[in-house]
Amino acid sequence: MQIHEIPRDYKGESRILYVFSIKGLIYTGIGAAVGGLFYLILSIIGLQAIGIWFVLIFGGIGFCIGTLKMPDSKRFKITEKTGGEAIDDVIKRWFKFKMQKNKIYVYLKEETKDE
């Protein structure tokens, strides 16, 4: 009798608390840290409650950027070109594009028709 290995899907193995992947947790932490800066500024003024909301909102934005994907829709130009890609990858490419001062290099291949 032989032993056969059953293939396992390791895709969900890197999840922490089922909701957070490692990447999502990092982006949530970064967003909460940015919100924490607002919390520190607002706590000096005496508005800690509003500062906590800033931490929660920026943490939520960070979670969305790290976890969600762009919707695949033909309705808008941005979703038509980036549909199904991670939001953080789209933001990284946009930032890289802006750092290159909006230069686009296009290679055109001329097609010939055989008649």
Give me the numbers of helices (H) and strands (E) for the chain, helices first please: 4, 2
Is 60 exceeded by the pLDDT of residue 47?
yes
Is 80 exceeded by the pLDDT of residue 33?
yes
Tell me what pLDDT residue 28 has.
84
Tell me what pLDDT residue 15 has.
58
Q: Indicate the pLDDT class of residue 112, thresholds 50, 70 and 90.
A: low
| β-sheet bridge partners, residue 86 | 69
pLDDT in tens, 61-108: 888 888 877 777 777 776 666 777 777 877 788 788 777 776 666 666
Tell me what pLDDT residue 110 has.
67
Would you list the domain boundaries of the chain? 10-68, 69-115
Residue-wise over 78-102: b if at least 16 C-beta within 10 A, else e? eeeebeeebbbebeeeeeeeeeeee
Tell me what pLDDT residue 111 has.
67
Tell me what pLDDT residue 43 has.
85
pLDDT in tens, 18-32: 566 777 888 888 888
- Regarding predicted confidence, which is higher, 15 or 78? 78
